[in-house]
Amino acid sequence: MPSAEHDALVETIGASGHKPTPDVTPSPDELRAAVRLMNETALPIHSAVVASPDALGGVPGVWFRPEAAVEGRALLYFHGGGYMFGTARNTGHVTARLAKAARAAAFSVDYRLSWQAPFPAAVDDAVAVYRALLDAGHDSASIALAGDSAGGGLVIATLVALRDNGDPLPVAGFASSAFTDLTVSGASAQTVDDPIATRAALLMLGGAYLAGSDPTTPLASPLFADLRGLPPLLLQVGSRELLLDDTVRLAQRARESGVDVELDVLDGVIHIWQYFGPDLPETRESEARAGAFLDRHLHNT
């Protein structure tokens, strides 16, 4: 059962007048305004983490460096937002806490959004950033990927792209509330009462990202990818998410492909709870597990 604090958060979200993601594509001006507002209202990051804008491989982003980070470790973080919204700064409080828990410096990638450049631009940006880390001297065994929602799907897609291109793979991947099926065919997308998104909204977001590409294209919808040879994965999802089945089916397919997978399903918890409820017991528990998973796999170089 979800905590009392989680239930209070859901009530607050409802009482605030918050509406799920719209199912009609906003105009470019509306999108730019939404991104500005996200940055302006970003929650503060942990005091033991220093944030600094930077660029890797020509792709902008923000470094989050905990005081206790192990030298040489790097975490690449991909924010959520359905490939249409979100920024590295806006999700910085999530990235900073995860970096601290993993004892690793984290670079949150401001990959191109769908209205700036559609698929496969986000995957191309993610690959470019990873290769830039390798070129800078990082060992692949000291790099892990992490992300939430669309960013969680981008974690899996990036691992598949790197494998297919023959790049040395990161040591592990962590995906939370991952959007991995742009056909939105999971049963949970039809049945779950999700206060954050609707099925129509997911189809709109996916369609804008695809810009005419087949929604079953593996690098866009990694649920349909060949997952053989991927590194260990930790997948987390709440049972009160439209995307519940995206994660459950991905975990099953990955295991069938021989991938070492850990799956956490949090009972009654909403989409990207770590973002909406940084002080929830569920957030502390899930981030501690994610940090321990990453800490265990990242090498000390």
The strand pairing partners of 83, in sequence order, are: none
Neighbours of 48 (CB within 10 A): 14
149 is catalytic: yes
The pairing of beta strand 59-66 with beta strand 49-56: antiparallel
DSSP 104: S
Q: Name the one residue in this structure whose structure tokens are 């900073």.
A: 96
Specify whether the CB–CB gap between 73 and 300 falls below 8 A: yes
DSSP 13: H
- Catalytic residue (choose from 241, 286, 287, 297): 241
97 Cβ neighbours under 8 A, 6+ residues apart? 45, 46, 49, 274, 278, 287
As a whole number of Å, the end-to-end CA separation of the chain is: 41
242 Cβ neighbours under 8 A, 6+ residues apart? 184, 186, 188, 189, 192, 194, 197, 198, 199, 202, 271
The pairing of beta strand 172-176 with beta strand 143-148: parallel
271 is catalytic: yes
- Catalytic residue (choose from 149, 177, 188, 286): 149
- Catalytic residue (choose from 271, 286, 287, 297): 271
State the helix-helix crossing angle for 121-135 and 150-165, rounded to 10 degrees: 60
Catalytic residues: 149, 241, 271
